[in-house]
Structure 1
Amino acid sequence: MQIGKQRTATSRISTVSADRVEVRGRDLCRDLMGRLTFTEYFHLLATGREPTEDQRYFLDLLLIAIAEHGMMPTVQAARMTLAADPGSLQGALAAGLLGCGPVLVGTAELCGALLAKAEARIAGGENADAVVRALVKDIREAGGRLPGFGHPVHRPVDPRAERILELADERGVSGTHVALARLMRTIAAEVWGKPLVMNVSMPIAAVLLDLGFLVTMIKAVPLLARAGGILAHLTEERANPIGFAMASAAEAAVIYRDDEKEGGG
């Protein structure tokens, strides 16, 4: 049984022969190794183009900004997985990355989609203030969370977000999407009736879009970054195991209830 539309299968990323590895039309050993940084190579792999200086600078900056943020649930899952199976570094890494969704780490993708939606309507002739206000109000009235806003620790500002915006302004890359992110912060405070913290996910999405990255690529940046952070924690876990201590603390923190004894249904 054939599933989906049938077509000739092609890939433009890489091919290998006995004496050559070709990546995006370039000789890996003779042209790329020793010349590109990993950040530049990632951009080439993902887009087919070597980055401009600004694209390289900010991709590097954003990878650093989001790589590590303490004992997040993604890190806890990875460390406890390695504690249970010390030989499965890849499994522990996968366990951590599986938790990178729309609540933690993966929020930048939602921010990018929201900014792109706003920009498309504005490009069609609608007023920027009215568009952003309508989008924010729709989310508020539906009882949803505004992507890129709010943080349990960083208040009143997320220092990472502010630094990204500062450097984007300094280097002259702040464009339509950064302006929309700032407008969204202003309007969100009015709609919610209080200031909301713009967290790191919104500037990540805004700067990437202003630099020409596709919305579909945005989530790849925090995923790649967190892979590095998780691997650092797993390296430490092997030298200084705390996975089982975290598991014990989690068990101790949860109270068991017997519904039958307490009259529950």
Structure 2
Amino acid sequence: MTEYPTALGASSLEKITLLGQDLAQDVMGKVSFGELAFWLATQRRPAPGETRVFEAVLAALADHGFTPTAIVTRLTYLSAPDSVQGALAAGLLGGGSRFLGVTEDCGRFLHEAVSTVEEPANWDEVALETVQARRAAGKFVPGLGHHVHKNGDPRTARLFEIAREEQQFGPHLALFEAIGRVHPQVLGKTLPLNGAGACGAALADLGLPLELLRGFALLARTAGLIGQLAEELRNPVANDIFLSVDLNNRPVPPAGGSHG
């Protein structure tokens, strides 16, 4: 008989186990959701300091107002109010290189640089070389710049502070912080370190799988999208958003022109 081993959830007639624990007796009411999410991903129970940093990341990424992911969630619910799961899925599918995906992109970018460095390192020197190489390749530096917080993303400084308080400020955060100091030498202008990038650095320092960093951003945003739907129920705006486009479209000839 084929067996499929798992260290995650399993059920018997008498009880449910999760991560080797009795779900009802040892997890429910004793383990926070953030702690459990970390534990599920790593299969090791995080220390309290790790949980605090991880949950700070989740809070930082939960909701950013009327972003495309929030708008499409509201519009999908307007179109299909019988499909809450469809509305949530629509918003999550919009998590990519411009929204939410920066967390994973920055974590991977920093890890690639950190993996070539022996600690202790002069992080300003490493950062300068890293930014110069990125510039030479004609690529953007992930986590650098923000369309609203031109003078500094408030999430970034706070996440640095929390990570330091909990002794979780590792090489990825150190390199990211250094990039904030040295990039003007290369780019000729000063850009803020955005919160999504800081979150990616923090998650990488926690040792979470790089391949799942976007998943944690989506986990956080799920809570935010539920909030968007709850607000849509109380104070609907989706129909106004729809009508603002529908009533103001302007017919134009096809881009290819007409052919006789």
TM-score by length of 1: 0.87
CA 1:170–1:243 in 2, change beyond 3 Å: closer, same or farther?
same
- Contact 1:121/1:131 (CA < 8 Å) preserved in 2? no
Q: How well do the aligned residues superpose, as a CA RMSD in angstroms?
A: 2.6
In structure 2, the partner of 1:237 is: 232
1:66 maps to 61
Contact 1:66–1:225, Cα closer than 8 Å, also in 2: yes
Matches within 5 A, 1:162-201: 162-201=157-196
Higher mean displacement: 105-114 or 166-175: 166-175
Q: 1:256 offset after TM fit, Å? A: 4.2
TM-aligned CA deviation for residue 19 of structure 1? 2.2
Determine the C-alpha separation between the residues in 2 that align with 1:168 and 1:230.
27
Task: For structure 1, list consecutive stretches of 5 or more residues without a partner in the other structure.
Answer: 1-6
Shift of 1:212: 2.7
CA shift in 2, pair 1:139/1:29, >3 Å:
same
| Equivalent-residue separation in structure 2 for 1:63 and 1:221 (angstroms) | 7
Please state if 1:104 is matched with 2:134: no
Give 1:262 deviation, angstroms. Answer: 8.2
Superposed counterparts of 1:1-265, under 5 Å: 9-123=4-118, 129=124, 131-251=126-246, 255-259=250-254
Q: Which amino acid letter does the alignment assign opposite residue 166 of structure 1?
A: E
Aligned residues: 258
Amino acid at match of 1:62: V
Cα distance in 1 for residues equivalent to 2:34 and 2:159 = 17
Once residues 127 and 8 of structure 1 are traced to their aligned partners in structure 2, the CA distance between those partners, rounded to angstroms, is 50
1:187-222 deviations in Å (ceiling 9; x for gaps): 322211101110002221222222332322322221
DSSP-derived class of the 1:22 partner: strand
Q: 1:9 to 1:162 in 2, by over 3 A?
A: same
Q: Is the 8 A contact 2:102 2:200 kept in 1?
A: no
Q: Which moved more, 1:163-172 or 1:253-262?
A: 253-262
Residues 50 and 168 in structure 2, CA contact (< 8 A), matched pair in contact too = no
Q: What secondary structure sits across from 1:122 in the alignment?
A: coil
| SS of equivalent residue, structure 1 residue 249 | helix
CA contact (8 A) 1:122 1:128 kept: no
CA pair 260-165 structure 1, distance change in 2 beyond 3 A: closer
Distance 1:216 1:8 in 2: 26
Q: Which amino acid aligns with 2:55?
A: D
Distance 1:124 1:66, change over 3 A: closer
